[in-house]
């Protein structure tokens, strides 16, 4: 209630701007305004407000998807986009986006309403090696709140590209105008869904109001939404085997609940202010999870094309409280992360002769910190201290990122040049414990580490609208990301396992492709759109973890098959450490992506095709300590969504066909190659999966949905599912396939 009171109080204060707004409006009416606008490009596309269409019309590797009406999971929704995947982990309860084979904070900038997310989930596991917990970056977000998802792969998008090595994913949540019908002042929107086979039930209600105030152009709006789920602990695969035999426990039963509040204050056409608070709570898998996110957005657009200013202030906090003895010898534990950010930018638009210019200059600052509290029931103080210090649980540290970004967009006739430059300066701080006396390391004693680096990141994107059917683009992007606290302060062996020389990753990405638009392709009134992209990315200083052991001269030697006879003879296996370090050889990723959309009204079809080679070094920490899992994508995957619209296009009946090519998982029994790295093991063949769905817009107030997932009840395991790499999956058989069997889901929406 204190949180609600704070936001409500802030809104009351800001409503006091009404007098100022009226004064400004009155003053403006006394002046004659002369406005000069840039040239306007009109598109003949149908339904241009569709997120999918908007993304397909932009030059570059962009994809978007609107609100899911097919009762698919967020994993399925994201995997239906080209070059986009997810890291599945039933023990986490988060959304973890994978772009072109990379995932995690810094590699992919995951955002909610433009606010970067830094939650690092730690989940107790009985299935990991040595019962170590599973760890993963992810977004704590109720799917009922999501109305749009935007994916950016491989090019710069202003502040979204800060500390984002290969791209970004932004989830937009429901707002005032998504609840209220046009022309109404009040609105209510509800969602309800129920599914068998472990899906459970969920419901959401949003109430909103909006009224004209302050001035003839002004308005005041507010929305409050609540959502809750009841999710079963177990499900059955296509063989009818319960998941508690291969990946879940009774503690997986959960009832997450979320609240979302937004207040929009618009004194006039010049000013637009939005306040938001989003809260998430769950008791799940021997831990309590709480998340609190706040932001303030301000948009200033006076009668000048030289001023288009945006300001974003945000604060996010996540907390996990662990039950006693939920993680081996540790007692009760607590893990916290907090992130604060400021992002301000201005765009100036002007023209010269027949050329239009748009220049954006902005700055983003972000501070992210992780800290923990742990205890143990070990009575011996020395042993207890060693157990706490030499433990992988929730590494602590603080990361500061400051950046200045700029963009110059030049449009002349059919040609566009998009030039961007991003300057990033980061520091990562934390405590490094003293190393053992029998180990030589630097610094030897306890010290405060402060790793710093800075760099420029140029971007160029060139495009041309030659004809609607052929609109080519080509781009080059240099990007970088800071190492995370979890990589630098990895502490399975205290100070021995920390690397004070760890560098950030850098990537060079080249892309070439084209957009295509063709109306009346087969029948009058139909539309066909296509986006094809070829990409290649080269990553330097790729961060991975390897095993080291004490050998001669008190040195920690890397177990990579290069030890000399003298070094091997001196090995002391009582002192081993998993250390994060930079790969000496660059990591190369390449592939191509195709997205196509055809709509003839009564018939529609969408296709997403991805083929890539994204092999990268495996991580020893992922196997032995449950660190962020392997993220290598399947060699190819295809999603086809096709259907028909009947009864004046109010009834839709369709099918989603999912094909997955060869996929790999980190070897469950930690089999090593000659270089001492863990091998990737080829997954069992994944069959083609078909989901059926139907939805019916009864009237503007009622919308009903129905879905059958895994229609043919195929027995398989999803690619990049954490369960597939647990030790018991070394010899995976039909009984331990981890994908859900045939499942029925129904749902409805009511609006008024």
> For residue 678, what pLDDT is reported?
81
Choose from 263-267, 372-376, 492-496 the range with maximum mean pLDDT.
263-267
Task: Tell me how many degrees the CA angle 356-362-363 measures, rounded to the nearest 5.
Answer: 165
Omega of the bond prior to 443 within 30 degrees of 0, cis? yes
Mean pLDDT of 39-68: 76
Mind listing the pLDDT tens digit for each residue in 145-161?
A: 999 999 999 988 899 99
Mind listing the pLDDT tens digit for each residue in 564-603?
A: 888 888 888 888 888 999 999 999 999 999 999 999 999 9
Instruction: Provide the b/e sequence for 532-545 (b: ≥16 CB within 10 Å).
Output: bbbbbbebbbbbbb
Residue 93 has pLDDT above 80, yes or no: yes
Residue 310 has pLDDT above 70, yes or no: yes
Q: Among 351-360, 493-502, 642-651, whose mean pLDDT is lowest?
A: 493-502
> For residue 623, what pLDDT is reported?
78
Q: How confident is the model at residue 22 (pLDDT cuts 50, 70, 90)?
A: very low
Mind listing the pLDDT tens digit for each residue in 537-546?
A: 999 999 999 8
> For residue 130, what pLDDT is reported?
59
> For residue 355, what pLDDT is reported?
97
> For residue 44, what pLDDT is reported?
36
Residue 15 has pLDDT above 80, yes or no: no
> For residue 13, what pLDDT is reported?
36
Residue 472 has pLDDT above 80, yes or no: yes
Q: How confident is the model at residue 501 (pLDDT cuts 50, 70, 90)?
A: very high
Query: Would you say how long the chain is, in residues?
Result: 752
Across the chain, mean pLDDT equals 90
Q: Give, as one character, the DSSP assignment of residue 566.
A: H
Q: How confident is the model at residue 727 (pLDDT cuts 50, 70, 90)?
A: confident
Mind listing the pLDDT tens digit for each residue in 657-710?
A: 999 999 998 887 777 777 777 888 888 899 999 999 999 999 999 999 999 999
Tell me the sheet residues that pair with 416: 411, 463
Q: How confident is the model at residue 652 (pLDDT cuts 50, 70, 90)?
A: very high
Closest CA to 479 of 453, 505, 498: 505
Mean pLDDT of 68-89: 96
Q: Which residue has the higher pLDDT, 367 or 124?
A: 367
* 52: helix, strand or coil: helix
Q: How confident is the model at residue 9 (pLDDT cuts 50, 70, 90)?
A: very low
Q: Which residue has the tokens 């596309």?
A: 45
Nearest-angstrom CA–CA distance, 74 and 151: 14
Percent of the chain with pLDDT over 90: 72
Alpha-carbon separation of residue 264 from 136, 172, 223, 275, 306 (angstroms): 34, 15, 9, 7, 25
Percent of the chain with pLDDT over 70: 93
Report the sign of the C-alpha dihedral through residues 325, 329, 331, 336, in that order: negative
Instruction: Provide the b/e sequence for 229-243 (b: ≥16 CB within 10 Å).
Output: bebbbbbbbbeebeb
Mean pLDDT of 295-321: 97
Choose from 108-112, 326-330, 680-684 the range with maximum mean pLDDT.
108-112
> For residue 38, what pLDDT is reported?
40
Count other Cβ atoms within 10 Å, centred on residue 751: 18
> For residue 502, what pLDDT is reported?
96
Mean pLDDT of 77-105: 95
Task: Tell me how many degrees the CA angle 730-736-737 measures, rounded to the nearest 5.
Answer: 105
Mind listing the pLDDT tens digit for each residue in 126-145?
A: 776 656 788 999 999 999 99
Q: What is the DSSP string of 242-290?
A: BGGGTT--GGG-B--EEEEEEEEEESSSSEEEEEEEEEEEEE-SSEEEE
Name the fold adopted by 2-29+48-751.
Answer: Maltoporin; Chain A (2.40.170)
Question: What is the pTM (predicted TM-score) of this model?
Answer: 0.92
Q: How confident is the model at residue 621 (pLDDT cuts 50, 70, 90)?
A: confident
Nearest-angstrom CA–CA distance, 682 and 666: 9
Count other Cβ atoms within 10 Å, centred on residue 411: 20
> For residue 18, what pLDDT is reported?
36
Alpha-carbon separation of residue 687 from 69, 683, 719 (angstroms): 25, 12, 11
> For residue 129, what pLDDT is reported?
64
> Rg (Cα) of the chain, in Å, rounded?
27
The dihedrals phi and psi of 523, each to the nearest 5 degrees, come to -130, 160
> For residue 14, what pLDDT is reported?
35
> For residue 463, what pLDDT is reported?
98
Residue 20 has pLDDT above 60, yes or no: no
Residue 2 has pLDDT above 60, yes or no: no
Residue 1 has pLDDT above 70, yes or no: no
The strand pair at 471-481 and 505-519 is best described as antiparallel
Q: How confident is the model at residue 734 (pLDDT cuts 50, 70, 90)?
A: confident
User: Which tokens go with 670?
Assistant: 């930690």
> For residue 8, what pLDDT is reported?
39
Q: Among 79-83, 278-282, 434-438, 602-606, whose mean pLDDT is lowest?
A: 434-438
Mean pLDDT of 66-72: 94
Nearest-angstrom CA–CA distance, 398 and 396: 7
Nearest-angstrom CA–CA distance, 348 and 356: 11
Count other Cβ atoms within 10 Å, centred on residue 454: 13
> For residue 47, what pLDDT is reported?
59
Nearest-angstrom CA–CA distance, 352 and 309: 22
Q: Give, as one character, the DSSP assignment of residue 71.
A: -
């Amino acid at each position: 209630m204190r949180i609600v009171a704070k936001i409500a109080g802030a809104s009351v204060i800001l409503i006091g701007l009404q007098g100022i707004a009226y004064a400004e409006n009155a003053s403006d009416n006394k002046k004659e305004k002369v406005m000069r606008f840039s040239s306007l490009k009109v598109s003949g596309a149908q339904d241009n407000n569709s997120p999918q269409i908007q993304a397909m019309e932009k030059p570059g590797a962009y994809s978007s998807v609107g609100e899911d009406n097919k009762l698919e999971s967020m994993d399925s929704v994201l995997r239906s986009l080209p070059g986009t995947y997810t890291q599945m982990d039933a023990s986490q309860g988060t959304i973890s986006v994978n772009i072109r084979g990379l995932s995690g904070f810094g590699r992919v900038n995951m955002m909610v309403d433009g606010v970067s997310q830094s939650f690092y989930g730690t989940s107790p596991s009985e299935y990991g090696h040595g019962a170590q917990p599973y760890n993963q970056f992810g977004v704590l977000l109720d799917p009922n709140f999501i109305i749009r998802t935007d994916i950016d792969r491989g090019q710069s998008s202003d502040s979204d590209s800060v500390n984002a090595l290969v791209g970004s994913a932004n989830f937009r949540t429901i707002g005032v105008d998504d609840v209220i019908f046009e022309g109404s002042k009040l609105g209510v929107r509800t969602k309800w869904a129920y599914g068998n086979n472990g899906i459970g039930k969920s419901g959401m209600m949003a109430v909103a109001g909006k009224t004209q105030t302050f001035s003839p152009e002004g308005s005041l709006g507010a929305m409050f939404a609540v959502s809750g789920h009841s999710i079963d602990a177990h499900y059955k695969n296509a063989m009818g085997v319960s998941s508690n035999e291969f990946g879940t426990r009774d503690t997986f039963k959960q009832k997450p609940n979320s609240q979302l509040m937004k207040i929009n204050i618009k004194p006039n056409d010049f000013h637009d202010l939005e306040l938001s608070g989003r809260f998430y709570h769950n008791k799940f898998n021997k831990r309590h999870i709480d998340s609190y996110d706040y932001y303030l957005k301000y948009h200033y657009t006076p009668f000048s094309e030289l001023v288009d200013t945006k300001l974003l202030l945000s604060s996010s906090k996540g907390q996990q409280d662990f039950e006693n003895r939920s993680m081996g010898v540790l007692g009760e534990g607590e893990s916290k992360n907090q992130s604060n950010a400021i992002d301000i930018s201005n765009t100036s638009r002007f023209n010269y002769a027949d050329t239009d210019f748009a220049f954006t200059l902005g700055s983003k600052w972000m501070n992210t910190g992780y800290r923990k509290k742990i205890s143990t029931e070990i009575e011996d103080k020395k042993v207890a201290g060693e157990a706490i210090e030499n433990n992988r649980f929730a590494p602590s540290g603080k990361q500061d990122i400051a950046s200045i970004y700029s963009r110059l967009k030049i449009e002349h006739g059919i040609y566009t040049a998009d030039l961007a430059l991003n300057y990033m300066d980061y520091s990562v701080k934390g405590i490094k414990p003293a190393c053992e006396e029998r180990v030589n390391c630097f610094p030897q004693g306890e010290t405060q580490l402060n790793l710093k680096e800075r760099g420029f990141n140029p971007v160029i994107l060139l495009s041309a609208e030659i004809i609607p059917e052929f609109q080519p683009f080509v781009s080059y992007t240099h990007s970088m990301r800071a190492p995370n606290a979890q990589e630098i302060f990895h502490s399975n062996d205290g100070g021995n396992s920390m690397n004070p020389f760890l560098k950030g990753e850098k990537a060079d990405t080249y892309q070439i492709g084209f957009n295509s638009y063709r109306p009346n392709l087969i029948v009058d009134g139909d539309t066909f759109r296509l986006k094809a992209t070829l990409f290649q990315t080269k990553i330097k200083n790729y961060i991975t973890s390897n095993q080291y052991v004490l050998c001669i001269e008190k040195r920690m030697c890397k177990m990579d098959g290069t030890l000399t006879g003298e070094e091997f003879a001196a090995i002391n296996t009582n002192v081993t450490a998993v250390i994060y370090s930079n790969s000496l050889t660059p990591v190369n990723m390449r592939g191509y992506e195709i997205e196509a959309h055809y709509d003839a009204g009564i018939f529609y079809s969408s296709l997403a095709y991805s083929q890539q080679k994204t092999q990268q070094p495996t991580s020893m920490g992922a196997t032995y300590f449950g660190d962020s899992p392997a993220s290598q994508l399947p060699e190819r995957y295809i999603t086809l969504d096709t259907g028909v619209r009947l009864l004046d296009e109010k009834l839709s009946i369709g099918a989603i066909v999912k094909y997955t090519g060869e996929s790999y998982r980190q070897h469950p029994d930690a089999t090593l190659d000659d270089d001492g790295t863990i091998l990737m093991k080829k997954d069992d063949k994944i069959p083609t999966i078909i989901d059926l769905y139907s939805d019916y817009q009864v009237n503007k107030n009622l919308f009903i949905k129905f879905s059958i997932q895994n229609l043919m009840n195929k027995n398989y395991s999803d690619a990049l599912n954490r369960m597939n790499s647990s030790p018991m999956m070394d010899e995976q058989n039909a009984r331990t396939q981890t994908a859900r069997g045939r499942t029925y889901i129904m749902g409805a929406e009511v609006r008024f």
